[in-house]
Amino acid sequence: MSNLPTLGYKDLARIFEKLGYKHIRTKGDHLIYEKPGLHRPIVIPKYKDVPKFIVKNNIRTAGITEAEFLKMLYNR
C-alpha cells in the first residue's frame, strides 16, 4: 500500500520543478512539464486534489522512487 498524501496540483508542480522539470505549456486544465533527456512529459491536471494514481504515474514517468518523491515533498 502506498503512503502518498493527497496533493494539490501546485504542490505537485513545485516538486517536479525542484527535480529540474520546466513548465513548457498548458493545454486546457493540464500543465505539461518536460526535462531534457526524458522521452515522456509529466502531465499534471489542475485539480484541487490530484488522484494518487496520477501522482504514481508521474513518479514512474520521472524515473524516481516514491521514497525520493516523499523526501522532496517533506524537505521544502
* pLDDT greater than 60 at residue 1: no
Could you report the per-residue pLDDT of 28-54, keeping only the tens digit for each?
A: 999 999 999 888 999 999 999 999 999
Per-domain residue ranges of the chain? 9-74
Angle among Cα 3, 69, 44 to the nearest 5 degrees reads 95
Predicted pLDDT at 31: 97
pLDDT above 70 for 61:
yes
Q: Which helix (H) or strand (E) holds 24?
A: strand 22-27
pLDDT at 75: 84
Interval 58-75 mean pLDDT = 92
* Number of CB atoms found within 10 A of residue 70's CB: 15
Instruction: Out of 3.50.50.60, 3.40.50.300, 3.30.160.20, 3.30.920.30, select the CATH number for domain 9-74.
Output: 3.30.920.30
pLDDT of 76 reads: 60
Q: How many CB atoms lie within 10 A of CB 68?
A: 13
